[in-house]
Chain A
Amino acid sequence: MGKLNNQQVIQSLTSAFGDRISVPSEPYDFLTFETSAENISEVLRFLKEDKELKFNYLTDITGIHYPEQKLSIGVIYHLHSLSNNVRVRIKVFIGGDAPHIPTATKLWEGANWMERETYDFFGVIFDGHPNLVRILNVDDMTVFPMRREHPLEDPNRVDKKDYFFGR
């Protein structure tokens, strides 16, 4: 196992995409790079269908929110090449109140619920998704609760104020 290493993946990625992807980093040996919403479909397709790389397994799709950034919502893909035993993490940052990104369901059926979950919690709109509705939260919820502006607890509660705890 482990016929490929991160350097070879970086090489074939940079030769295929050049500066359309960011310079990859390797936190804890986990190959990580960024790309843009325009390129993400192509990057995913390349990684999945390349004869050498064969990132055929979509481990996860999730989101992250950095309110201080202009492109505040991040969508994070974890792919796994089972035959080469290499993992890669791809981040795409998108902005706006209703951030758009193309769906990955055309490549992996399994992306369906992962994208619905990301939509449910971060409000990312996956263009081309067959059924983009809420999945874990109630259907009539109006906010996207994992965004940072939503506090964990009701801010109007008075029994948990700091001064009760000497802070």
Chain B
Amino acid sequence: MTNHPIFTDNDPQKETFILNLGPTHPATHGVFQNVLVMDGERIISGVSTIGYIHRAFEKIAEHRPFYQITPLTDRLNYCSSPINNMGWHMTVEKLLGIETPKRVDYLRVIVMELARISDHLICNGILGVDTGAFSGFLYLMEEREHIYEIYEEICGARLTTNIGRIGGFERDFNDIAFAKIKKFLVKFPPILKEFEILFNRNRIFIERTSGVGAVDPETALNYSWSGPILRATGVDYDVRVNEPYSSYQDFDFEIPVGTSGDVYDRYIVRNEEMWQSLRIIEQALQKIEKEPKGVFHADVPEFYLPPKEEVYNSMEALIYHFKIVMGEIDTPKTEVYHAVEGGNGELGFYLVNDGGRSPYRLHFRRPSFINYQMYAPMSAGMLLSDAIINMSSLNVIAGELDA
């Protein structure tokens, strides 16, 4: 057990003690264990232990065909599963050289931005709870429910969505889905505004968060941070802009950045990103109007499963169905890296393909895993209560941390 501090120090003169925070502490919102050496209320040092919900996704992925890996990606960052799903589909499309129609890209953008909003809602809502303000969280959770209802209308699932297929979507968005998205765009902004009124200039909230966990950009880059917490330090790195995917280059939006990288800045950056996401969704809805109706997947019969009625009634569809399911279609022997801007940062998929039915090697570049490693070093010197809100503003999701 080399990873754990050893509890043999029985020195009666000692003034520090060891606090085992987690793995099931209610304030850490997930399975995170930190063994902290404390001097009174102040943390002297800490060791993070992770891996409590490791499920060997990378090993499982080596034994599954491409389309069966999508449900694995759901379970990485389960607060914004659609981003993971889309990221995976786009990785495979890049590998196979599939060009998706513009309408598919815009539909994907809508789903991904909804997922980003729901991810940030959770993080900022929980941050409020951890600083002692419960009401903001309750207002926001109702809105997350509406986002989940939109997912439900699109794909039938709520949390682990498995949205989309390689080449597009499994079915078109129906009228109810569009109506719900439009309703959300009308109803959500006043609630987000009210949330901001509750928190942004709230003296108690500012005193609790401002200056806590401040990180300078050099340190953040040195630790390979990405996502809102990196942007809160002032680095304007966003995969959506640096390497646009899914037609993000067609949209007009801004990357909010902070200055000090403390908990308050991260909160503000996330809030501002939600406003930008709303802008993007509005633009996407307008752009979809101009695209031909009813297009929801690329025309790639070798990789896109045909509808069941066609499988039963047409020879060609049956053949393609068989070939896809049995994995008899040649794929290029090469390697590809594709990154998307997940809720927490750069979510990368490194796929090495040997032409077989399943990937030779698939590695997930998981932002939570990489962001979290600074947690223990940066906690040294903090008050325990500050370390708790620092953790909730890092928005580490256990599923993504442990894969």
**A residues bordering B, Cβ < 8 Å?**
1, 27-28, 30, 32, 56-60, 62, 64-65, 76, 78, 82, 85, 87, 89, 108-114, 117, 121, 133-140, 145-146, 152
Contacts and interface: CB of A to CB of B under 8 A. Distances in A.
A70 B45 CA distance: 43
B337 A89 contact: yes
Given A30-B337, A113-B369, A137-B51, A152 B350 contact: no
Contacts of A59: 224, 339, 346, 348, 365
Given A85-B243, A110-B370, A78 B54 contact: no
A151 to B, nearest CB: 9
Contacts of B346: 59
Nearest to A65: B361
Interface in B202-260: 219, 221-225, 235, 237, 242-243
A78 B59 contact: no
A152 B94 contact: no
Given A89-B337, A114-B370, A78 B51 contact: no
B272 interface: no
B3 A133 contact: yes
A101 B328 CA distance: 38
Contacts of A62: 350, 363
Interface of B: 1-3, 50-51, 54, 56, 58-60, 62-63, 94-95, 219, 221-225, 235, 237, 242-243, 334-337, 339, 346, 348, 350, 352, 360-361, 363, 365, 369-370, 373-374, 402-403
**Most chain B CB atoms below 10 A, which of A58, A85, A136, A138:** A136
Contacts of A138: 51
Given A28-B336, A30-B337, A152-B63, A109 B242 contact: no
9 contacts: A27-B336, A82-B242, A87-B337, A109-B374, A134-B3, A136-B51, A137-B51, A145-B56, A152-B63
Contact of A152 (B62, B242, B352, B403): B62
Contacts of B222: 108-110
Contact of A1 (B235, B242, B335, B339): B242
Q: Which 3 pairs show the lowest CB-CB distances between chains A and B?
A: A110-B224, A136-B51, A113-B373
A141 to B, nearest CB: 11
A113 B58 CA distance: 17
A62 B346 CA distance: 16
B94 A78 contact: no
A76 B62 CA distance: 18
Contacts of A117: 369
A57 B54 contact: no
A148 B129 CA distance: 45
Given A60-B365, A134-B3, A136-B402, A110 B54 contact: no
Given A114-B224, A134-B3, 13 more contacts: A60-B363, A64-B360, A76-B350, A109-B223, A109-B374, A110-B222, A110-B225, A113-B370, A114-B370, A136-B51, A137-B51, A139-B1, A152-B63
